[in-house]
Amino acid sequence: MALGLPSLLVGSWTDDDAGTGVTVVLPPAGTLGAIAVRGGAPGTREAAALGPTGAGTECHGIVLCGNSVFGLAAADGVVRWCAEQGRGLNIRDNIVPVVGAAVVYDIASPQSTRPTAEAGWAACEAASVDEPATGRIGVGRGCTIGKTAGRDHSVPGGLGAAVERSGDVIVGAVMAVNALGDVIGHDGSVLAGCTAPSSAERYPDAAIEAIPGFTGRGSEEPEQLERSNTTIGCLVTNARLTKPEACRAADLAHTGIARAIEPPHTNFDGDALFLLATGEVETRADLIAMLGARAVASAIRAAIAT
């Protein structure tokens, strides 16, 4: 099953030539959606609607996109696909899908091919109930990590997934790992990250301006650091939650990012987590937050292990 839940669909579209991609999560009807953002430089769609002050509760799809703000175009294709499948709110005889999206910055050059609405549609067409493929696929295709001493010392990131359980309660996570920092293990050791020598200046011990090499590979132009990094993902659970509970659980699940990435949530990361709750099992929001944090950390580590 995809992320441990029946009737949940996960699919990806990958552009190997451009080094980017799109991953979608499509929940069953009646699923509640929420979001929590902790990074300082996010790029999102429907964050207000899915946030704690948003009036809406139902969500029909989540899109994790490469190519920064340009990748948000893929969400248009997901909206169209959901509408054609009858997945959405029925408003005056119109099907209106609520589709959240978040982006990572993986643009190789200004001439790179951008994900389009067709890419989002293709990811939906590829979605299945099977365990999702991970690694350098979908939104994970162009991800990198370990940029604290400059991008020239970075290594590939990727897409990871994990599932945690407690009795009948299930929480799954799919994560795109494009962090400024390194991925660390349970014992604090670096699993993958910056390849610079130990003597090299690193952020945040040194100011960004003091660190050489913050340019795109092969480019002499300074990179827009505030838009270059991000860990984004989607949690799914069979729990029944209110909107405030779901938003709080998503926020607390960011703890998993802090466990698996060093440093986490910097001003140069756009870390954002969605949460989809299908509502079958009565439980406590704190349990979802705890399982969510575990799933997020495991999915991040899985992203660089595949």
How does 263-282 read in b/e, with b if 16+ C-beta sit within 10 Å? Answer: bbbbebbbbbbbbbbbeeee
Task: Find tokens 């005889």 and name the residue.
Answer: 93
Domains along the sequence of the chain with CATH? 2-303 (3.60.70.12)
pTM of the entire structure? 0.93
Residues 72-80 have a mean pLDDT of 97
Contacts of 187 (CB under 8 A, 6+ apart): none
**Which of the two residues, 294 and 199, has the higher pLDDT score?**
294
| Predicted pLDDT at 41 | 79
| Predicted pLDDT at 152 | 87
The region that residue 92 occupies, defined by phi over 0 for left and psi between -120 and 50 for alpha, beta otherwise, is left
| Predicted pLDDT at 224 | 46
Contacts of 222 (CB under 8 A, 6+ apart): 214, 215
| Predicted pLDDT at 185 | 96
Torsion over CA: 14, 303, 184, 266 (sign): positive
Residues 123-150 have a mean pLDDT of 96
pLDDT tens across 86-118, in order? Answer: 999 999 999 999 999 999 988 876 767 889 999
pLDDT tens across 196-232, in order? Answer: 999 899 999 988 888 876 543 333 444 444 446 889 9
